[in-house]
Structures are given as C-alpha cells and as structure tokens.
Amino acid sequence: MLKKQFNFPLKVLLEDEHLAAIHKPAGIEVSGNKFKTIANALSQNLKASTLPDATTPQPVHRLDYAATGIVLIGKTSNCIRALNKMFEDKLISKTYYAVAIGDMAPSGTISSEIDGKASRSDFEVIQSVPSERFAKLNLVKLHPKTGRRHQLRKHLYSLGNPILGDKEYNLEGLILKGRGLYLHAHSLEFEHPFTQQNVYIEDEIPEKFGKIFDSGVK
C-alpha cells in the first residue's frame, strides 16, 4: 500500500541527485507519527533521484516544531547514511539566529549539560535594542557544536536569556504570545559526501526579526 502524501508546498533551497535542503516553516513537525510532517511532504516537492540506491527522501536531522529554517534531506540510502555520520562526527557547521531577552555578554560559550550529556553552543550578540516590555532584546548568532534536543533554547534559558516567544523555557511574565518562537536555522556548511565540493546553504532570516532590529538582519 502506498503511503499517502501530505499535500504541502515547500521552498526548496538546494537539490541534486543525492540530497536536498528545504525551508521549514514554523508550526510543523519535521517527522514523527503525525501525518502532517515535512517528511510526508517531501516526495511531491523534490525530484526523484535517478541513482541506483534512490529511496524515499528523508530528513537527516530535526528542527523544533516552532522553529524555522533549513532542514537537510537525503535522497539515496548511501547519502542518508553519510549525512547521519557527518552530523555524528560534527562535520556539518550550523548557524542559527535567535532573539534573546535581557542583558547579555557580547559573546561566549555555553557548555551546561543537557539531559546528563555534554553539550556546547557558541554565541555572539549581533545587535541589542531597548524594549519597553523586555528591557532589552538581542539578535544572537549561535553555533551549536553538539545536537541535543532543544539545545539552543535550553542553553540561552540557562544564561537567564530565554528566546523570545519560547513557551517552554521562559522567565515568569516574559512570555510573548501569538508571534511564535524567534529561533531560525539560518545556514549549513559541509563538504558534499559524494562530489567533495564545499556546500553552503542559507535560508533568509524571517521578516519578524527585521521588525525588531533596524540593521544586522539580512
């Protein structure tokens, strides 16, 4: 029996015979038991690979339900295996942007454990603006060096600088409702596992970030 496809148009950022990258909007799961997932919408948005080991396109990492940005997809069995190994070996460089609340150091490394496991995120404040409700809002560039669940959200919360719009990790009275989570997976960089070329993929920062910061958001 053929798996039913979820009819959902996706913005394709890059695609070849081996892999693809798509933009994930907020409010949809990457994969899982639900029908309405990115995984179930891939086949109709991507071209089928003509390689001998072509398979159903599959996301090779996750992005939080409320977050936006790049999701990398494998289109062949060998590529899915290779990309999974590259994530495991930390050979894929990830850059995120977030809006964090409160006074922050200009840059730093957060290495607090997550679920008992070692984890690390590097951060740099790109711009800060005063806010009537939140005192200060910061545009933060983040480089997660490990891939723990909710890592960036937990790490910024551990500093006392939760991400704007985070309903799970927040400080009392500082929850922004109705505008979503201000966390965006902006870019990925890695060596293509089959062509050996350098691959750099970028996904434009959402408009809502630009409404807070006059410059620094491109």
Per residue in 110-123, pLDDT tens?
Answer: 999 999 999 999 99
If you write DSSP's letter for every residue of 45-77 in order, what string do you get?
HSPPP-STTEEEEEESS---TT-EEEEEEEEEH
Residues 29, 70 share a domain = yes
Give pLDDT tens digits for 53-72.
999 999 999 999 999 999 99
Residues 170, 124 share a domain = yes
Give pLDDT tens digits for 201-214.
999 999 999 989 87
Structurally, the chain folds into a number of domains equal to 2
Cα–Cα distance for residue pair 134/129, rounded to 1 Å: 10
- In this prediction, residue 134 has a pLDDT band, given cuts at 50, 70 and 90, of confident
Please give the model's pTM, rounded to 2 decimal places.
0.92
Residues 104, 174 share a domain = yes
Residues 139, 120 share a domain = yes
In a domain, 216, yes or no: no
What is the CATH classification number for the domain harbouring 68?
Answer: 3.30.2350.10
In a domain, 162, yes or no: yes
Residues 105, 45 share a domain = no
In a domain, 195, yes or no: no
Q: Which domain holds residue 118?
A: 95-185
b/e per residue, 190-210, with b = 16+ CB within 10 A? beebeeeeebebbbebbebbe
pLDDT at 172 over 80: no
- Among 131-140, 147-156, 172-181, the range scoring the smallest mean pLDDT is 172-181
- Among 2-16, 27-41, 172-186, the range scoring the smallest mean pLDDT is 172-186
